[in-house]
Amino acid sequence: MQHAQSRVRSRRWIGRGGLASLAALIAFGILPALPALAASWSPPVSLPGSCGSSVAVNRAGAMAAGGTFTAADGTTHVQVCTSPDGKTWQAADLGPGGTEPHGGQHPAVALSPDGHAIAVWGATACSPICDYIVQAAVRPPGGAWGAPVTLTTDLYFGGGGIVLGMDGAGNAIAAWVGNYADESHYAVLPAGGSWGPVQTLSNGNVQGAAHNLGLAVTPDGSIVVAFAGGNDAIWAASGTVLGGLSAPVVVASGDYQKDSAPKVALDDAGQASLVWSRSGGTEAATRSPAGTWSARVVLSSQSSSSVATAIDGAGNAISVFGSSYSWHLAGGTWRPATALPAGSSGGLVVADPAGTFVYADSSGNAFTFGSGATSFGPGSGSRGSLADLKIVPGLAVMLAAGTVSAEAVS
C-alpha cells in the first residue's frame, strides 16, 4: 500500500467578581499567594483488563477505560473496561484493532451522562490489500458492546492520532487524519442515533498535510479541533457537534519546527486556550468569546515533548509544558513560566467550569488547586506512568499504570 510521505481552589469558591478583581491585581503586577488544595484521591483500583490507555467519566460516577492486549493468536485486540462507580469493573474484548495510528490513545473512549459508552480506534485490514481503518463500538447503559462498525478505510498510519469528544447531551464526534490527499476528517454520532457520513475537516491543498490533532468539546456542544498543517503551521477549526465545523483558520505560521501535538481547551462562553511546542520553544494563543484568536505568545524558549492546557468557566487558563506552567487569567495575559512542583514534569491538566484545576505529572502524582494558584500544595503521591486525566463537575479521575483513582472536587 502506498503511504503518504508528506505526512485547590480555596474552600470557598472565588466568584466571578473576585476573579475579575484578581485579574486587575495581576494586571498591575500584584500576584497574591493563592492557596492550593490538599489532594484527596481514592486508593488506586486495578482494572480487570488491559484498559490502560484512556479513561472517561460522567457526573454519575460511571467510568470507561480502554486499551489493547495481545490475543492468543498474537494479534492486537481492543479491550474496554466499564464501571458504574469506578470500583467494580467489567472488561470486554472488542476484537482485533488498536494498532493504528502510531500516536494517540488506543482506543479513545467517551461516556455520556446517561451511561452510553463509545470507543474509537484504528486498525489494519488486509483482504488482500491492506488499508488502515477507523472503527467504533457503542455500549448502551447497562448493556453489552455492539459489533464494531467501520467509519472509514482512509486512516493515516503515522502522526495524528484519533480524537474523540462528547457533549452534555451525549452527541459524540471523532476526528482523524486521512492518508488520501493529506486531508483530515470527522464523523458524528448523535445521541441515540447512528454514525453520520465522514466529513472533511482540512484540505491538504489549503492547510497542507494535517497531523497531530487536538480536540476540545464543551457540554453545550461547542468544538475546537486544532492541528499542525503544512510547514508545521498551527490551525484551528470551530463549530458544534451537530452543526459541523467551519473552515480551519491559521493560528500561527509554520517553520518546519516539528511541532508537538497542539492541545486545546474550551469553555461554554467560547473562550479557548491553545498550546504547542516546536524546537525553538513553547507557544500559546487564546481565543475570545467572539471567536478571534490572539497572536501567539512564547511561553518558553525551550521546547517540550509534552504540553497540556485547561480552562475554567470564567476563562482562566493554564498551560503546562516540560517542568513549567503558566497562567492566563481572565482579562490578563500569559504570566511568566514558573517551575512545577519539584520532581514533576510533563503530564496532563484539566479544569471544571467552577474553577477547580487538577494537574497530574507523568509519574501519576496529582495536584488540585484553584485558578491563579502560585503553589500546588501536596500531591496524591506517584501512582505510576500517567495515561489519562479527566474531570466533570464533582469528580476527577486519573488513569495511571493500569489503575484508576478518583477525587471528589465539589
Query: DSSP labels for 127-147?
Result: SSSEEEEEEEEEE-TTS-PPP
> Three-state DSSP class for 30?
coil
Kind plus residue range of the DSSP H or E element containing 177: strand 172-177
Mean pLDDT of the chain: 90
Distance separating alpha carbons of residues 367 and 39, to the nearest angstrom: 6
Mean pLDDT of all residues in 182-199: 96
**pLDDT band for position 259 (50/70/90)?**
low
**pLDDT band for position 377 (50/70/90)?**
confident
- Residue entry with cell 454514525: 195
Type of residue found at 227: F
pLDDT digits (tens, 9 = 90+) for 309-353: 999 999 999 999 999 999 999 999 999 999 999 999 999 999 999
pLDDT digits (tens, 9 = 90+) for 210-238: 999 999 999 999 999 999 999 899 999 99
pLDDT digits (tens, 9 = 90+) for 277-300: 988 899 999 999 999 999 999 999
Q: According to the model, what pLDDT value does residue 142 have?
A: 87
Q: According to the model, what pLDDT value does residue 295 have?
A: 96
Are the C-beta atoms of residues 162 and 101 closer than 8 Å to each other? yes
In 11-152, at which residue ranges do the beta strands (DSSP E only) sit? Answer: 36-37, 45-46, 54-57, 63-70, 76-83, 90-96, 108-111, 117-126, 130-139, 149-152
DSSP letter at 308 equals E
pLDDT digits (tens, 9 = 90+) for 267-277: 999 999 999 99
